[in-house]
Chain A
């Protein structure tokens, strides 16, 4: 299932670059695609000049491409694989005369209103095992001046017109198109304005596709004076056309870098690396499981005894087939179209060195923190307020906790027991839906009931492992200790867990994406500031200049207030 990434503005491009970079080195390492191979072919600046009879190079490249193809499912999610190995074998003669020197190509579209940022990242892709498709680049000469209006009305249409065919090509190239992922900032003119325009146009041109916006929320102060205008304008537009907006808060990532990872000096590079790591963990859900995996014939009789209708069975089956797509995640997270602002929490937050040395983490500790972090809307695993408790009644002052619409928990780590292991399947990294809550209760309700009417396949192994392992996340979650949340509306599928054996950086890590009330105070703060500023019409003249009318602005304010 392939994703087309669209990186917009300085922020979007810098984060996008870091993401692809992290992703490729992670995959290469994982599948043992030797760095040497890459270096060999890429160290020659102008690779076409490589001697045609350089046999070594041929074989190495051959191996590399072969590996890509072999692990196609993993690479294809975000990369275009240069050439199919089979095709190449057909043209063996050709191969000898012209060795393949192609690299992985990021399935990305790069857009900015100025040239320096894109130039810089293109320069940095040199000598790496992947590259951008340089046909997919569009930039103007003059920045959007932090002006949403400039980005939306002036740069937007021009850029979309110029690059839309490339988007089409990328979508058509996907064997299995999953979704668009747009990376942008909410504060800059290009990210916010042009990003809004692109989301709108993509919705028009691809009405049934999934569009996810990864939007960077600026620091509270200090970067762009008109950031609050830009946030409001872009959130309002994205809300209309996007399927989900995953918010990345710069100050949260900054604080994690400085107080948890102990960087004395924090640069955007540190922040972006952390964001990229997180994205890899979130989005690199592996290939769809074969349906047969959990549903071996052994299981089916048991299912039947549970009176699972054939319809339910099919439903389950289907779900497992598509479980890892972005579409699927978003379906879980945004069950209601009027709520689509997502926030993210994750653990652990220590430097990898520390983890390795002291083997700090255990699932119990991680999940305990993560659960409380989400409940109290703290992004940092530090000084959590443990007095806030879901079991006590909600109180704005003494016991304020977040309400949730839905959650997705992604666990990564070797020590996760899973039915895959159990069935001794050779798939090492798999993300499997662990459980779904009952129709309208939360997990705790679910486990209080002893009946298995809402039977889920994972219950099988859930019970199997219950006594076996002490620090098993499956058990921890099922034991209703953590993530025992209140939900604002009744809707099925409010809590979903996925896990993968495949860990990245940490031997155990957990990521929670929530659709919750946590965002409301932040939006309110922005609206408050916008109201103050707008009451004097400060800066508005510059928005008017490029076509934003005051009426439109006021309508947007109204929409935002209503959507809270």
Chain B
């Protein structure tokens, strides 16, 4: 089994990471009831022998000649995240360390400072990049060394602030130079194009985009506006849902608490950690929180971004589920860029989740209608984690990553149904990729993560460019940057975004060559 190292940079990256580790633990606890350190768990977590301080291997099958397989099993002793926490402010990292998930991180996987990047990309990239170069390498190398087959770095950061965007970009190119064969995926929170809380975010994001264009294998843009809208919609749905649901969850929770479950280290640790659960849970909690807070004060503090970050975490978990858990049609993480990135430059993947919420009365209802609904929902504007109009723009490729109670016939049926509604580029009319993972997501019997390489992403780039030009025309704040970086960076960043917009526009308008041309071309290469 291959491993991934999760690198969270800046406030946003760390806050998302926090939710990610919490949900990841819970997801594994759900299927790993014996508290064993299995291979699935090993892809994101280390297991440390408390006596020797060394890494313990996951379950090893020793094959025995004349008989069935012997299994040497290791209990979970001391779990550690395969993560690197980077922030130039201490605040969030300290909170994480003090939280129920804090046990996952030790100081040797943390790089921090205490002054922040002041929302200045150049400070993060140049100043901190150079200053922390060695320390970063050392910390990452340490994590890489304890992997027996490292496959991916997952970088999680915002590109609107200073640290996540600047230092995050720096780390990405550092990884490209030091680990050229390891995949680099970036989950990047793009600034809200209408009204972001950071004035300089247009600069920061374009500068980051330029760096990521060069050094990441795949970028998953996330848009806070889209995330907020999802949250609001879900919240409305939940409120609409009957009070019986509230009662039943309450009962359920109480029952869970009282049931004298067998002791096991993993679930214990999970129970210790906070109760943000699935997307649903975090909302129902809103309703039931007041009552719970009275009983368990302090435990249910909800930070402002938590709902949104749960959604992002769920996306990351679904993205990697097929690599961690078995299924009928496995998708290793390297298959994602293989199938979705036809040209190295066009690597911006739009992600959509469905269903976004599951009500308890629906949980057991796995009727075909619900499953079909899940498929069609995931192509609607509402379900996408970044502003995107998938249906009215050209697809370069599309991947359906299914989890849970879904079979190949469900996929076939829905692809046939969706095909006429979606516009695929002429040279990739069958540009579909499917994965089926049998382990469901937390609290959802079945779920779908749709990954699209779709031309509508160029709208995001256009907005970014517009905001950038608005700011740059006044040369606002530019001098704060040129203290640290060459002016050329600005020009290059602009060129890069223009390039991307052009590429996608060209594909959008590409006319398929006619039969004759194809035949001619065929002959020309053949004879």
Which A residues form the contact surface with B (CB < 8 A)? 10, 14, 42, 45-48, 101-102, 114-117, 119-120, 122-123, 125-126, 131, 134-135, 137, 141-143, 145-147, 189, 219-228, 254, 257-258, 263, 265-269, 271, 528-529, 531-536, 538-539, 541-542, 554, 557-558, 561
Select one of A125, A225, A254, A541 contacting B343, CB under 8 A.
A541
Contacts A271-B408, A532-B518 given; indicate if A147 touches B427 (C-beta within 8 A). no
A116/B326 in contact, CB under 8 A: yes
Identify which of A122, A142, A224, A268 contacts B408 (C-beta below 8 A).
A268
B339 touches A226 (CB 8 A): yes
**How far is B408's CA from A266's CA once the two chains are assembled, in angstroms?**
6
Verify A135–B521 contact, CB threshold 8 A: no
CA distance A269 to B409 in the complex (A): 11
Query: Is B340 positioned at the interface, with any CB of A under 8 Å from its CB?
Result: yes
Q: Does B229 contact A (CB under 8 A)?
A: no
Name which of A221, A222, A228, A254 has the most chain B CB atoms within 10 A of its CB: A222
Contact A117 B326 (CB under 8 A): yes
Q: In the complex, what residues of A have CB within 8 A of residue B407's CB?
A: 265-268
With A117-B330, A222-B411, A266-B407 already in contact, the answer to whether A122 and B61 are too (CB < 8 A) is yes
The 8 closest A-B pairs by CB, nearest first: A143-B332, A134-B63, A221-B430, A266-B409, A141-B149, A538-B342, A145-B334, A267-B407
Q: How far is B337's CA from A226's CA once the two chains are assembled, in angstroms?
A: 11
Which residue in chain B gives the minimum CB-CB distance to A560? Answer: B526
Are A131 and B68 neighbours in the complex by a CB distance under 8 Å? Answer: yes
Flag if B430 contacts A222 (CB, 8 Å): yes
Q: Tell me whether A529 and B429 are in contact in the complex, defined as CB-CB below 8 angstroms, given that A145-B334, A539-B342, A557-B526 are known contacts.
A: yes
**Given A120-B326, A219-B412, A266-B408: A532 in contact with B338 (beta carbons within 8 A):** no
Report the separation of the CA atoms of residues A120 and B525 in the bound assembly, to the nearest whole angstrom: 44
Q: Which of B58-75 contact A (CB under 8 A)?
A: 61, 63-70
Tell me the bound Cα distance from A193 to B343 in angstroms.
Answer: 21
| Stretch of B220-228, B305-313, B431-439, B462-470 lying at the A interface | B431-439
A-B contact list, 8 entries, CB within 8 Å: A45-B68, A142-B332, A146-B335, A222-B434, A257-B409, A528-B518, A532-B518, A557-B526
Of all chain A residues, which has the CB nearest B510? A536
Given contacts A254-B408, A558-B526, contact A126 B431 (CB under 8 A): no
B196 within 8 A of partner (CB): no
Closest residue of chain A to B324 (Cβ to Cβ) is: A116
On whether A254 and B412 interact (CB within 8 A), knowing A221-B430, A538-B428, the answer reads: yes
* B63–A225 touching, CB < 8 Å: no
A112 → chain B closest CB, angstroms: 10
Q: Could you tell me the distance between the alpha carbons of A135 and B62 in the complex, rounded to whole angstroms?
A: 11
Secondary structure at the A interface, as helix, strand, loop or mixed, is: helix
Nearest B residue to A529 by beta-carbon distance?
B430
- The residues of A that contact B409 with a CB separation of less than 8 Å are 254, 257-258, 263, 265-267
- In the complex, the answer to whether B430 meets A220 with C-beta atoms within 8 Å is yes
- Residue contact A114 to B69, C-beta cutoff 8 Å: no
In the bound complex, do residue A224 and residue B67 qualify as a contact, i.e. CB atoms below 8 Å apart? Answer: no
In which size bucket is the chain B interface? 35 or more
Instruction: Find the A residue at minimum CB distance from B430.
Output: A221
Rounded to whole Å, the gap between the CB of A373 and the closest CB of chain B is: 22
Known: A134-B63, A266-B408. A532 touches B427 (CB 8 A): yes
**Residues in B neighbouring A227, C-beta threshold 8 A:** 430
Contact yes or no, A47 B68, CB < 8 A: yes
19 extra interface residue pairs, beta carbon distance < 8 Å, beyond A532-B518, A542-B338? A48-B67, A102-B67, A115-B1, A116-B326, A141-B1, A141-B2, A142-B332, A145-B335, A189-B338, A222-B415, A224-B339, A225-B339, A254-B408, A267-B407, A268-B408, A531-B521, A539-B342, A542-B337, A558-B527
Q: How far is the CA of A219 from the CA of B433 in the complex (A)?
A: 11
Contacts of B525 in A (CB 8 A): 534, 554, 557
Structural contact, B342 and A223, CB atoms closer than 8 A: no
Minimum C-beta distance from A185 to chain B (A) = 10
Judge whether B328 and A267 touch: CB under 8 Å.
yes
Closest to B63 in A: A134
**Chain B nearest Cβ from A276, distance in angstroms:** 15
Q: Does B426 contact A (CB under 8 A)?
A: yes
B329 located at the interface, meaning its Cβ lies under 8 Å from any Cβ of chain A in the complex: yes
Chain A residues with CB under 8 A of B326? 116-117, 119-120
User: Looking at the complex, which one of A134, A143, A533 makes contact with B428 (CB distance below 8 Å)?
Assistant: A533
Using a CB–CB distance below 8 Å, which chain B residues touch chain A?
A: 1-2, 39, 61, 63-70, 148-149, 151, 325-326, 328-330, 332, 334-335, 337-344, 397, 407-412, 415, 419, 426-434, 436, 512-513, 518, 521-522, 525-527
Chain A residue with the shortest CB-CB distance to B523: A561
B69 touches A134 (CB 8 A): yes
Most buried by B among A125, A226, A263, A271: A226
A120 → chain B, closest Cβ, in Å? 5
Query: Which one of B151, B329, B427 contacts A10 once the chains associate, using CB atoms below 8 Å?
Result: B329
Contact of B330 among A114, A228, A258, A266 (CB under 8 A): A114
For the complex, give the distance between the alpha carbons of A146 and B411 in Å: 19
Distance (Å) between the CB of A409 and the closest chain B CB? Answer: 31
> Which residues of chain B are within 8 angstroms of A119 by Cβ–Cβ distance?
39, 61, 326
With contacts A219-B412, A225-B397, A541-B343 taken as known, whether A143 is within 8 angstroms of B63 at the C-beta atoms is: no
Q: Which residues of A contact B408 (CB under 8 A)?
A: 254, 266-268, 271
The complex places the Cα of A131 from the Cα of B527 at a distance, in Å, of 51
B103 to nearest A CB, angstroms? 27
Contact A222 B334 (CB under 8 A): no
Known contacts: A147-B338, A226-B339, A267-B407. The answer to whether A554 contacts B526 by CB under 8 A is yes
Residue contact B526 to A126, C-beta cutoff 8 Å: no
Task: Tell me which residues across on chain A come within 8 A of B518, comparing CB atoms.
Answer: 528, 531-532, 535
Q: Give Cα distance in the complex from A42 to B67, angstroms.
A: 9
Which residues of A lie under 8 Å from residue B526 when comparing CB positions? 554, 557-558, 561
Best-buried of A114, A532, A554 by chain B (most CB within 10 Å): A532
Most B CB atoms within 10 A — which of A46, A117, A141, A554?
A141
Among the listed B64, B329, B335, which residue makes an inter-chain contact with A268, where contact means beta carbons less than 8 Å apart?
A: B329
From A143, A224, A266, A542, B433 is in contact (CB under 8 Å) with: A224
Q: Would you call A221 and B330 a contact (CB within 8 A)?
A: no
A141 and B64 CA atoms in complex are apart in Å by 21
What's the least CB distance linking B330 to chain A, in Å? 6
Flag if A142 contacts B2 (CB, 8 Å).
yes
Q: What CA separation (Å) do A535 and B525 show in the bound complex? A: 10
Which chain B residues border A48 with CB–CB below 8 Å? 67
Question: Residue A536 contacts which of B332, B337, B427, B431 (CB distance < 8 angstroms)?
Answer: B427
Task: Tell me the bound Cα distance from A558 to B523 in angstroms.
Answer: 9
Compute how far the CA of A538 lies from the CA of B503 in the bound complex, rounded to whole angstroms: 13
Central interface residue in B65, B149, B412, by most chain A CB within 10 Å: B412
Q: Indicate which residue in A115, A528, A529 contacts B39 across the interface (CB closer than 8 Å).
A: A115
List, in ascending order, chain A residues with CB within 8 A of B70's CB.
46
User: Which residues of A have CB within 8 Å of B433?
Assistant: 146, 222-225
Contact of B67 among A47, A116, A542 (CB under 8 A): A47
In the complex, residue of chain A having the shortest beta-carbon distance to the beta carbon of B371: A265
CB-CB nearest in chain B for A118: B61
In angstroms, Cα B64 to Cα A126, docked, is: 13
CB distance from A143 to the nearest CB of B (A): 3
Q: A119-B326, A137-B63 are in contact. Are A146 and B339 (CB under 8 A)?
A: yes
Contact of A142 among B67, B334, B338, B341 (CB under 8 A): B334
Contact A114 B332 (CB under 8 A): yes
Chain A contacts for B340, CB-based, 8 A: 225
- Complex: chain B residue closest to A561, CB-CB: B526
Q: Residue on A with the closest CB to B414?
A: A222
A541 to B344 Cα, complex, angstroms: 8
Pairwise interchain contact A101-B339, C-beta atoms closer than 8 A: no
B151 A142 Cβ-Cβ under 8 A: yes
How near does chain B come to A58, taking the closest CB pair, in angstroms?
16
Which residues from B are CB-within-8-Å of A538? 342-343, 427-428
The smallest C-beta distance from B193 to any residue of chain A, in angstroms, reads: 30
Is there an interface contact between B430 and A265, defined as CB atoms closer than 8 Å? no
